[in-house]
Amino acid sequence: MQYCTHCGNLLPDDAKNFCPHCGTSLTDASPAATRPKKRLTPADAPGGLDRTSFFKTYSNGRRLCIAAAIIGYVCAAGTVVAALTNLVEYINAYALLDAIILLVLSLLIHLLCSRIAACLLLAYALYNTIAMTIMFGTPSGWLGLVAGVLAVIGAFQYAKEWRDYQPRSYETTALFRS
């Protein structure tokens, strides 16, 4: 298996001259590159990438959003299990609404890296944690808070990375055109 020495993506067997992901010349690269050298950052991104390609390979904010969404999915699944099995006496069928809200917000964060959904998840998790602590005397819902904080950090970092990349990308593509 060969990896691009510039972007770290797996190269298809038919890639001879250029990486299909970032466009780096493969003839200059050493054939001994069998593993990506490091985790790629937005600073490593070549110019001219579209938004999807940039975020798929280079965005640290996207990685945080995916981590937050996974935690949100786990919280939603735990809520559904607790509501349907009556494992915890104060969780009832109304908790399914809570699970749906968590699931929808987590999906929006995962698929769109939405800053609005991230802020809503954080606010909703904070409200749930405070309400559960006051009503039942036990702090619960803290995992939702972790997901909300990660989502807010990731979504805002995601937007900043793209905003910082755009001028550099336009400069690079303008050099190629002239």
The pLDDT tens digits of the residues spanning 68-87 come to 999 999 999 998 988 888 77
- Tell me the pLDDT tens digit for each residue of 7-43: 777 788 777 777 887 777 777 544 444 444 567 788 8
Report whether 4 contacts 11 (CB < 8 A): yes
Predicted pLDDT at 28: 57
Report whether 106 contacts 68 (CB < 8 A): yes
Compute the C-alpha angle 66/49/165, nearest 5°. 75
Tokens in use for 93? 């069928």
Mean pLDDT confidence for 130-141: 86
Residue 31 DSSP one-character state = T
Mean pLDDT of all residues belonging to the chain: 83
Compute the C-alpha angle 118/81/132, nearest 5°. 60
Mean pLDDT confidence for 128-157: 92
- Taking 3-state DSSP, the helix, strand and coil percentages for the chain, each rounded to the nearest 5, stand at 65, 0, 35
Predicted pLDDT at 31: 47
pLDDT surpassing 50 at residue 171? yes
107: exposed, middle or buried (Cβ count in 10 Å: 0-12, 13-18, 19+): middle
* pTM for this entry: 0.74
Mean pLDDT confidence for 39-52: 82
pLDDT surpassing 60 at residue 173? no
